[in-house]
Structure 1
Amino acid sequence: MANQVEQTLIDPLFESLQKERFVTIATVDFETKAPNVSAISWVLAKDSSRLYFAVDNRSRIVTNIQNHSGVVINIIANESCYSISGTASVKREKLEGVPLKLALIEVNINEVRDVMFYGSKISVEPAYEKTYDPQAAAKLDKQVMDAMREA
Protein backbone atom coordinates (compact mmCIF):
# COMPACT_ATOMS: atom_id res chain seq x y z
CA MET A 1 0.00 0.00 0.00
CA ALA A 2 1.41 3.40 -0.99
CA ASN A 3 1.93 6.02 1.69
CA GLN A 4 -0.28 9.09 1.62
CA VAL A 5 0.92 12.17 -0.30
CA GLU A 6 -0.54 15.66 0.21
CA GLN A 7 0.18 19.06 -1.35
CA THR A 8 -0.15 20.91 1.99
CA LEU A 9 0.23 20.17 5.69
CA ILE A 10 -2.47 18.00 7.22
CA ASP A 11 -4.02 19.46 10.38
CA PRO A 12 -2.05 17.33 12.90
CA LEU A 13 1.25 18.41 11.27
CA PHE A 14 0.19 22.05 11.19
CA GLU A 15 -0.61 21.87 14.92
CA SER A 16 2.67 20.06 15.67
CA LEU A 17 4.57 22.86 13.93
CA GLN A 18 3.14 25.66 16.07
CA LYS A 19 5.84 25.22 18.70
CA GLU A 20 9.55 24.58 18.79
CA ARG A 21 10.34 20.93 18.02
CA PHE A 22 13.03 18.62 16.72
CA VAL A 23 13.10 18.22 12.92
CA THR A 24 15.82 17.49 10.41
CA ILE A 25 16.40 19.41 7.20
CA ALA A 26 18.14 18.14 4.09
CA THR A 27 19.71 20.62 1.70
CA VAL A 28 22.02 20.25 -1.28
CA ASP A 29 25.57 21.05 -0.20
CA PHE A 30 26.89 23.99 -2.21
CA GLU A 31 30.40 22.52 -2.48
CA THR A 32 29.92 18.78 -2.84
CA LYS A 33 26.41 18.79 -4.39
CA ALA A 34 25.64 15.87 -2.04
CA PRO A 35 22.79 15.81 0.50
CA ASN A 36 23.48 17.64 3.74
CA VAL A 37 21.31 16.90 6.78
CA SER A 38 21.04 19.10 9.89
CA ALA A 39 18.90 19.07 13.02
CA ILE A 40 16.98 22.26 13.83
CA SER A 41 14.29 23.21 16.34
CA TRP A 42 13.06 26.71 15.55
CA VAL A 43 10.44 25.80 12.95
CA LEU A 44 6.91 27.15 12.50
CA ALA A 45 4.06 26.36 10.13
CA LYS A 46 3.02 29.83 8.96
CA ASP A 47 0.03 28.29 7.17
CA SER A 48 -0.71 24.94 5.54
CA SER A 49 1.54 25.68 2.55
CA ARG A 50 4.48 27.54 4.15
CA LEU A 51 7.04 26.83 6.85
CA TYR A 52 9.43 29.25 8.48
CA PHE A 53 12.58 28.29 10.31
CA ALA A 54 15.40 30.23 11.90
CA VAL A 55 19.10 29.37 11.87
CA ASP A 56 22.34 31.24 12.48
CA ASN A 57 22.81 33.43 9.41
CA ARG A 58 26.34 31.99 9.00
CA SER A 59 24.99 28.45 8.86
CA ARG A 60 25.87 26.16 5.97
CA ILE A 61 22.09 25.67 5.61
CA VAL A 62 21.75 29.30 4.49
CA THR A 63 24.59 29.05 1.97
CA ASN A 64 23.21 25.77 0.64
CA ILE A 65 19.73 27.29 0.14
CA GLN A 66 21.19 30.35 -1.59
CA ASN A 67 22.82 27.97 -4.09
CA HIS A 68 20.02 25.38 -4.45
CA SER A 69 16.52 26.10 -3.16
CA GLY A 70 15.27 22.52 -2.85
CA VAL A 71 14.88 21.25 0.74
CA VAL A 72 13.27 18.40 2.62
CA ILE A 73 12.18 18.70 6.24
CA ASN A 74 11.65 15.46 8.13
CA ILE A 75 9.31 15.46 11.13
CA ILE A 76 8.16 12.71 13.45
CA ALA A 77 4.61 13.52 14.55
CA ASN A 78 1.08 12.16 14.46
CA GLU A 79 2.42 8.62 15.12
CA SER A 80 4.32 8.69 11.81
CA CYS A 81 7.31 10.10 9.95
CA TYR A 82 6.75 12.78 7.29
CA SER A 83 8.89 14.21 4.53
CA ILE A 84 7.99 17.81 3.66
CA SER A 85 9.63 18.91 0.42
CA GLY A 86 9.64 22.42 -0.90
CA THR A 87 11.45 25.45 -2.22
CA ALA A 88 13.33 27.53 0.35
CA SER A 89 14.52 31.11 0.29
CA VAL A 90 16.04 33.54 2.77
CA LYS A 91 13.11 35.74 3.77
CA ARG A 92 15.19 37.89 6.14
CA GLU A 93 18.93 37.88 6.68
CA LYS A 94 18.42 39.05 10.29
CA LEU A 95 15.36 38.13 12.31
CA GLU A 96 14.28 41.23 14.25
CA GLY A 97 13.66 41.11 17.99
CA VAL A 98 16.18 38.34 18.62
CA PRO A 99 19.63 38.88 20.20
CA LEU A 100 21.31 36.36 17.86
CA LYS A 101 22.04 36.89 14.17
CA LEU A 102 19.44 34.47 12.83
CA ALA A 103 18.27 34.18 9.24
CA LEU A 104 14.57 33.59 8.63
CA ILE A 105 14.02 30.95 5.97
CA GLU A 106 10.70 30.45 4.19
CA VAL A 107 9.80 27.09 2.66
CA ASN A 108 6.98 26.92 0.14
CA ILE A 109 5.68 23.38 0.44
CA ASN A 110 5.44 21.25 -2.71
CA GLU A 111 4.65 17.89 -1.15
CA VAL A 112 3.99 16.27 2.22
CA ARG A 113 4.63 12.54 2.19
CA ASP A 114 4.03 10.01 4.96
CA VAL A 115 7.26 7.98 4.77
CA MET A 116 6.76 5.59 7.67
CA PHE A 117 7.47 2.01 6.74
CA TYR A 118 4.51 -0.31 6.28
CA GLY A 119 2.73 -1.78 9.29
CA SER A 120 4.23 0.45 11.94
CA LYS A 121 3.70 3.64 13.89
CA ILE A 122 5.81 5.90 16.07
CA SER A 123 5.07 5.15 19.71
CA VAL A 124 7.30 7.85 21.27
CA GLU A 125 8.27 11.11 19.59
CA PRO A 126 11.88 12.35 19.89
CA ALA A 127 12.63 14.48 22.92
CA TYR A 128 15.59 16.72 23.66
CA GLU A 129 16.70 19.15 26.29
CA LYS A 130 18.78 22.30 26.15
CA THR A 131 22.20 21.85 27.75
CA TYR A 132 22.66 25.47 28.78
CA ASP A 133 20.81 27.71 31.25
CA PRO A 134 17.15 26.54 31.08
CA GLN A 135 15.77 30.03 31.77
CA ALA A 136 17.95 31.65 29.11
CA ALA A 137 16.99 28.89 26.65
CA ALA A 138 13.26 29.34 27.33
CA LYS A 139 13.56 33.12 26.91
CA LEU A 140 15.46 32.80 23.61
CA ASP A 141 13.08 30.14 22.29
CA LYS A 142 10.11 32.42 23.01
CA GLN A 143 11.81 35.40 21.34
CA VAL A 144 12.59 33.40 18.20
CA MET A 145 9.15 31.77 17.89
CA ASP A 146 7.39 35.12 18.51
CA ALA A 147 9.58 36.86 15.91
CA MET A 148 8.76 34.15 13.33
CA ARG A 149 5.03 34.49 14.06
CA GLU A 150 5.24 38.24 13.52
CA ALA A 151 7.31 38.01 10.33
Structure 2
Amino acid sequence: MANQVEQCLTEEMLPLLQKERYVTISTVDFETGTPNVNAISWVFAPDVQTIRFSIDNRSRIVKNIKTNSGVVLTLIANGSTYSIAGDAQLIQEKMEGVPLKLALLEMKVEEVRDVMFYGAKITSEPKYDKTYDAQAAAKLDFQVMQVMKRR
Protein backbone atom coordinates (compact mmCIF):
# COMPACT_ATOMS: atom_id res chain seq x y z
CA MET A 1 0.00 0.00 0.00
CA ALA A 2 3.05 2.28 -0.03
CA ASN A 3 2.41 5.74 -1.51
CA GLN A 4 -1.30 5.02 -1.88
CA VAL A 5 -4.15 6.83 -0.26
CA GLU A 6 -7.29 4.81 0.34
CA GLN A 7 -10.70 6.23 1.23
CA CYS A 8 -11.55 3.34 3.56
CA LEU A 9 -9.99 0.40 5.38
CA THR A 10 -8.69 -2.30 3.08
CA GLU A 11 -10.09 -5.82 3.24
CA GLU A 12 -6.77 -6.87 4.83
CA MET A 13 -7.08 -4.24 7.56
CA LEU A 14 -10.72 -4.85 8.47
CA PRO A 15 -10.22 -8.10 10.44
CA LEU A 16 -7.27 -6.57 12.29
CA LEU A 17 -9.61 -3.96 13.73
CA GLN A 18 -12.33 -6.39 14.74
CA LYS A 19 -10.65 -7.38 17.98
CA GLU A 20 -8.88 -5.71 20.84
CA ARG A 21 -5.65 -4.27 19.48
CA TYR A 22 -2.93 -1.77 20.35
CA VAL A 23 -3.40 1.45 18.37
CA THR A 24 -2.63 5.07 19.05
CA ILE A 25 -5.14 7.87 18.68
CA SER A 26 -4.15 11.43 17.90
CA THR A 27 -6.50 14.27 18.69
CA VAL A 28 -6.21 18.05 18.91
CA ASP A 29 -5.91 19.17 22.51
CA PHE A 30 -8.94 21.27 23.48
CA GLU A 31 -6.85 23.65 25.63
CA THR A 32 -3.59 24.05 23.76
CA GLY A 33 -4.56 23.25 20.15
CA THR A 34 -1.52 20.98 19.88
CA PRO A 35 -1.45 17.29 18.98
CA ASN A 36 -2.32 14.83 21.74
CA VAL A 37 -1.45 11.13 21.35
CA ASN A 38 -2.75 8.24 23.48
CA ALA A 39 -2.56 4.46 23.29
CA ILE A 40 -5.89 2.58 23.30
CA SER A 41 -6.89 -1.04 22.78
CA TRP A 42 -10.69 -1.31 22.65
CA VAL A 43 -11.33 -0.85 18.93
CA PHE A 44 -13.83 -2.46 16.58
CA ALA A 45 -14.44 -1.82 12.88
CA PRO A 46 -17.90 -3.07 11.86
CA ASP A 47 -17.18 -2.14 8.24
CA VAL A 48 -14.52 -0.47 6.09
CA GLN A 49 -15.86 3.05 6.74
CA THR A 50 -16.35 2.92 10.52
CA ILE A 51 -14.19 2.35 13.59
CA ARG A 52 -15.64 2.34 17.10
CA PHE A 53 -13.51 2.72 20.19
CA SER A 54 -14.06 2.86 23.92
CA ILE A 55 -12.22 4.90 26.52
CA ASP A 56 -12.77 6.20 30.04
CA ASN A 57 -15.49 8.84 29.74
CA ARG A 58 -13.39 11.29 31.81
CA SER A 59 -10.51 11.02 29.34
CA ARG A 60 -9.03 14.08 27.69
CA ILE A 61 -9.67 12.28 24.39
CA VAL A 62 -13.43 12.77 24.85
CA LYS A 63 -13.03 16.47 25.59
CA ASN A 64 -10.72 16.86 22.60
CA ILE A 65 -13.14 15.18 20.20
CA LYS A 66 -16.08 17.24 21.46
CA THR A 67 -14.05 20.36 20.55
CA ASN A 68 -12.43 19.10 17.33
CA SER A 69 -13.72 15.89 15.73
CA GLY A 70 -10.62 15.26 13.63
CA VAL A 71 -8.67 12.17 14.73
CA VAL A 72 -5.94 9.88 13.44
CA LEU A 73 -5.58 6.26 14.51
CA THR A 74 -2.18 4.68 13.98
CA LEU A 75 -2.18 0.95 13.31
CA ILE A 76 0.99 -1.15 13.18
CA ALA A 77 0.24 -4.32 11.22
CA ASN A 78 1.12 -6.40 8.18
CA GLY A 79 4.73 -5.22 8.29
CA SER A 80 3.84 -1.54 8.08
CA THR A 81 2.40 1.49 9.87
CA TYR A 82 -0.93 2.98 8.82
CA SER A 83 -2.43 6.39 9.48
CA ILE A 84 -6.24 6.24 9.53
CA ALA A 85 -7.81 9.70 9.52
CA GLY A 86 -11.39 10.81 9.93
CA ASP A 87 -13.94 12.49 12.14
CA ALA A 88 -15.10 10.99 15.43
CA GLN A 89 -18.12 11.61 17.60
CA LEU A 90 -19.31 10.58 21.02
CA ILE A 91 -22.02 7.92 20.65
CA GLN A 92 -22.59 7.04 24.32
CA GLU A 93 -21.34 8.94 27.36
CA LYS A 94 -21.55 5.73 29.41
CA MET A 95 -21.73 2.32 27.78
CA GLU A 96 -24.62 0.22 29.04
CA GLY A 97 -23.75 -3.26 30.31
CA VAL A 98 -20.19 -2.32 31.25
CA PRO A 99 -19.26 -1.79 34.92
CA LEU A 100 -16.78 1.05 34.28
CA LYS A 101 -17.59 4.57 33.13
CA LEU A 102 -16.56 4.04 29.53
CA ALA A 103 -17.56 6.20 26.58
CA LEU A 104 -18.29 4.79 23.13
CA LEU A 105 -17.01 6.83 20.21
CA GLU A 106 -17.29 6.26 16.49
CA MET A 107 -14.99 7.40 13.72
CA LYS A 108 -15.89 7.73 10.04
CA VAL A 109 -12.82 6.75 8.02
CA GLU A 110 -11.89 9.32 5.39
CA GLU A 111 -8.29 8.45 4.55
CA VAL A 112 -5.89 5.55 5.06
CA ARG A 113 -2.18 6.00 4.35
CA ASP A 114 0.76 3.67 4.61
CA VAL A 115 3.23 5.89 6.49
CA MET A 116 6.12 3.46 6.93
CA PHE A 117 9.42 5.01 5.94
CA TYR A 118 11.01 3.84 2.71
CA GLY A 119 13.01 0.64 2.65
CA ALA A 120 11.81 -0.81 5.94
CA LYS A 121 9.15 -3.10 7.34
CA ILE A 122 7.87 -3.86 10.81
CA THR A 123 9.19 -7.25 11.93
CA SER A 124 7.31 -7.47 15.22
CA GLU A 125 3.94 -5.94 16.05
CA PRO A 126 3.37 -4.31 19.47
CA LYS A 127 2.24 -6.69 22.20
CA TYR A 128 1.08 -5.92 25.71
CA ASP A 129 0.00 -7.69 28.88
CA LYS A 130 -2.79 -6.60 31.19
CA THR A 131 -1.26 -5.85 34.58
CA TYR A 132 -4.40 -6.47 36.60
CA ASP A 133 -6.46 -9.60 37.35
CA ALA A 134 -6.50 -11.69 34.14
CA GLN A 135 -10.06 -12.99 34.68
CA ALA A 136 -11.42 -9.52 35.41
CA ALA A 137 -9.62 -8.16 32.34
CA ALA A 138 -11.02 -10.90 30.10
CA LYS A 139 -14.55 -10.32 31.40
CA LEU A 140 -14.33 -6.55 30.92
CA ASP A 141 -12.81 -6.93 27.45
CA PHE A 142 -15.68 -9.25 26.45
CA GLN A 143 -18.32 -6.83 27.78
CA VAL A 144 -16.81 -3.82 26.01
CA MET A 145 -16.43 -5.64 22.69
CA GLN A 146 -20.02 -6.93 22.83
CA VAL A 147 -21.38 -3.40 23.21
CA MET A 148 -19.18 -2.10 20.38
CA LYS A 149 -20.26 -4.94 18.08
CA ARG A 150 -23.97 -4.50 18.58
CA ARG A 151 -24.14 -0.71 18.39
Look up the match of 2:73. 73
Counterpart of 2:139 in structure 1: which amino acid? K
Number of aligned residue pairs: give it. Answer: 150
* Aligned ranges 1:64-143 → 2 under 5 Å: 64-143=64-143
CA distance in 1, matches of 2:76, 2:29: 24
CA distance in 2, matches of 1:7, 1:141: 29
SS of the equivalent of 1:30 reads coil
SS of the equivalent of 1:142 reads helix
Counterpart of 2:7 in structure 1: which amino acid? Q
CA distance in 2, matches of 1:4, 1:136: 41
CA distance in 2, matches of 1:49, 1:74: 16
CA distance in 2, matches of 1:5, 1:15: 19
Look up the match of 1:47. 47
CA distance in 1, matches of 2:5, 2:116: 12
Q: Does 2:33 correspond to 1:33? A: yes
SS of the equivalent of 1:36 reads strand
Q: Which aligned segments of 4 or more residues in structure 1 are displaced greater than 4 angstroms?
A: none
CA distance in 2, matches of 1:20, 1:92: 19
Name stretches of at least 5 consecutive residues in structure 1 with no aligned partner: none
CA distance in 2, matches of 1:108, 1:53: 12
The two structures, once aligned, show a CA RMSD in angstroms of 0.8
The C-alpha deviation readout for 1:85-126, integer Å capped at 9, x for no partner, is 000100111111111111100000110000011111111100
TM-score for the superposition, normalised by structure 1 = 0.97
Identical residues among aligned pairs (%): 63
Name stretches of at least 5 consecutive residues in structure 2 with no aligned partner: none
Look up the match of 1:24. 24
CA distance in 2, matches of 1:137, 1:21: 14
Counterpart of 1:140 in structure 2: which amino acid? L
Look up the match of 2:13. 13
